């Protein structure tokens, strides 16, 4: 069983379905409003826990009703929350999500997520040292992510970085990352791509050239393309399913990939496992509510 540390965000997602997105100044009718625990860090932690990992999380929530619900949801999925603290006089992170034809648009207020500091990471260093993998994203301050990656690198703990939301990252940081899981837009930003004609393969090669051991680009309905170590670039087609909501698909993929890799799976087998988990997730509404359990993935007939 993989021992995984997650440092990242915890949000409450306010989700509504709409037949189309409104133009500026326009109101459209929606339906199916839900409040669903989410946040990229929490989604990935829950995915890793439900899929068989032993997961410990470092994060912050507000001292409010959402904070209590978010903590309860993590604990119910088996995530160790001893290092998740409530911050007074600060709201929990909130994401307002509109879903249209299976795609989503998101507005995020990070709230308490931005209370996390590099000193919190240093206090968490023993946990990182004991872990089989560190899993991080970019919905907390970049200084926190940078400190976490450097701590993990110094103690030889592999790092899986899901670089979302997209921001430029120093090569010094990227060369300490073991596995990078960007989508195409994130890969282009990280690679410094200023045009529109760069191929997926060229973006992956550029990121690999920065020192990232494994680059695995998620391409939605087109599948995934990756380069692992010194091997050739490989592509895997997406699994065909009826898509309901893609909100947490990338998070589920990253969490599942971390579990499989820490269990010793070959990369191609870990990627196949992660694709199955993400395919199940997109057939369901919501973020954490869509995340499957291990038995579901193992019995899934792709």
Q: pLDDT for 118-128, tens place per residue? A: 999 999 999 99
Q: What percent of the chain has pLDDT over 70?
A: 98
Average pLDDT value for the chain: 93
CA distance to 151, 152, 186, per residue, from 207 (Å): 21, 20, 11
Convert the pLDDT of each residue in 179-225 to its tens digit. 999 999 999 999 987 655 689 999 999 999 999 999 999 998 899 99
Residue 251 known to be catalytic: yes
The yes-or-no verdict on residue 1 having pLDDT over 70 is: no
Sort 200 into a burial class: Cβ within 10 Å, 0-12 / 13-18 / 19+: middle
Identify any residues that bridge with 62 across adjacent strands, giving them in sequence order: 87
Choice among 13, 120, 245, 251 that is catalytic: 251
- Give the pair of three-digit tokens for residue 66: 């959402």
pLDDT at 284: 87
pLDDT at 99: 85
Taking the CA atoms of the chain, what radius of gyration do you get in angstroms?
A: 18
Residue 290: name the closest of 19, 83, 73 by CA: 73
pLDDT at 248: 85
pLDDT at 223: 92
Three-state DSSP state, 201: helix
């Amino acid at each position: 069983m993989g021992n995984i540390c997650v440092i990242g965000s915890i949000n409450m997602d306010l989700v509504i379905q709409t037949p189309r997105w409104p133009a500026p100044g326009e109101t459209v009718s929606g339906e199916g409003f839900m409040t669903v625990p989410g946040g990229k860090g929490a989604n990935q932690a829950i995915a890793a826990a439900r899929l068989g990992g032993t997961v410990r999380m470092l994060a912050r929530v507000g001292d409010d009703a959402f904070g209590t619900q978010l903590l309860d949801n993590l604990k119910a999925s088996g995530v160790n929350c001893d290092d998740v603290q409530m911050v007074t006089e600060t709201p929990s992170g909130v994401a307002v999500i509109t879903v249209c034809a299976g795609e989503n648009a998101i507005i995020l207020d990070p709230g308490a997520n931005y209370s996390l500091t590099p000193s919190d990471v240093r206090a968490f260093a023993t946990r990182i040292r004991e872990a089989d993998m560190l899993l991080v994203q970019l919905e907390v301050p970049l200084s926190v992510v940078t400190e976490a990656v450097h701590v993990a690198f110094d103690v030889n703990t592999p790092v899986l970085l899901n670089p979302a939301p997209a921001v430029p990252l120093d090569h010094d940081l990227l060369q300490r990352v073991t596995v990078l899981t960007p989508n195409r837009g994130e890969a282009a930003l990280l690679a410094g791509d200023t045009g529109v004609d760069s191929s997926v393969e060229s973006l992956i090669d550029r990121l690999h050239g920065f020192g990232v051991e494994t680059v695995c680009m998620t391409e939605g309905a087109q599948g995934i393309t990756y380069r692992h170590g010194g091997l050739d670039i490989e592509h895997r087609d997406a699994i065909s399913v009826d898509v309901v909501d893609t909100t947490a698909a990338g998070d589920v993929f990253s969490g599942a990939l971390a579990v499989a890799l820490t269990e010793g799976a070959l990369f191609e087998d870990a990627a196949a496992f992660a694709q199955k988990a993400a395919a199940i997730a997109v057939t369901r509404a919501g973020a954490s509510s869509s995340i499957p359990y291990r038995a579901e993935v193992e019995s899934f007939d792709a």
